[in-house]
Copies of this chain bind each other. A is one copy, B any other.
């Protein structure tokens, strides 16, 4: 039986051994294969993860970052808040693909002892090593077909926000602020906390 290989540093980065980091790692590898690309060293691949907040299995995203190089720090992965174990991978001039963890595979994992511990509130690093290794092995030996639904998205289009190096000092606290986030208060250019403008206010783009 062929066993998929995950580099040890990906576990070190993630902090613990769990099944979802490897699932994400494999999703990322498969997406790169489908798009014919390798790890993004800079700002090539964009990932739109369908994960949200306050539910498990987000660990998948650490695996995606580790395999694709589309990291949070480089601004290449964001959440869509749909609550699904799925992500769309877009690589300029190569196209896009959506990968979803099959319900059937999720159902296969659910009865595993690993989740009995998790549902009792036991943190992953506290779960016995053999239990963790066993569920990780289920992920590593599964075929891609068993794991994922893959859909190429020929019409996918995305235009990243244009970046800027411009920054200046907040005229109140003196800290450097990138221009996009400067606000105005009593005529002074200030950072958002110094502006004291309501930070839950919303601005919307004008409809086209």
Taking Cβ atoms with an 8 Å cutoff, the residues of A that contact B are 7, 9-10, 12-16, 20-21, 24, 39-43, 52-56, 58-66, 69, 71-75, 77, 80-86, 100, 103, 106, 115, 118-119, 123-126, 160-165, 167, 169, 174-182, 191-193, 200, 202, 204
Contact of B42 with A61 in the complex, beta carbons under 8 Å: no
Q: Assess A55 versus B163: contact at CB under 8 Å? Given A65-B73, A73-B62, A181-B82.
A: yes
Q: How far is the CA of A117 from the CA of B41 in the complex (A)?
A: 16
- Docked Cα-Cα span, A184 to B60, in Å, equals 27
Given A52-B180, A55-B179, A82-B177, 17 further pairs, Cβ under 8 A: A9-B13, A13-B65, A15-B42, A15-B74, A52-B178, A52-B181, A55-B164, A58-B74, A59-B74, A61-B73, A62-B73, A65-B72, A83-B179, A84-B178, A84-B191, A86-B175, A118-B165
Q: Is the CB of B75 within 8 A of A62?
A: no
Q: Sample 29 A-B pairs with CB under 8 A, ordered by A number.
A: A9-B9, A13-B66, A13-B71, A16-B41, A41-B124, A43-B123, A52-B178, A52-B180, A53-B75, A53-B161, A54-B160, A54-B163, A59-B73, A61-B72, A64-B73, A80-B192, A82-B177, A82-B191, A83-B178, A83-B181, A83-B182, A83-B192, A84-B176, A86-B175, A103-B175, A103-B176, A118-B165, A119-B165, A202-B202
Q: Smallest CB–CB gap between A57 and chain B, Å?
A: 8
User: Quick one: closest B residue to A86, CB to CB?
Assistant: B175
- Asked whether B15 lies within 8 Å of A12 as measured between CB atoms, the reply is no
From B55, B64, B66, B193, contact of A165 by CB (8 A): B55
Residue of B nearest to A24 (CB): B73
A167 to B56, CA, bound (A): 10
Contact B103 A75 (CB under 8 A): no
Chain B nearest Cβ from A61, distance in angstroms: 4
- With A84-B175, A176-B85, A181-B81 known as contacts, the answer to whether A163 contacts B72 (CB < 8 A) is no
B62 touches A72 (CB 8 A): yes
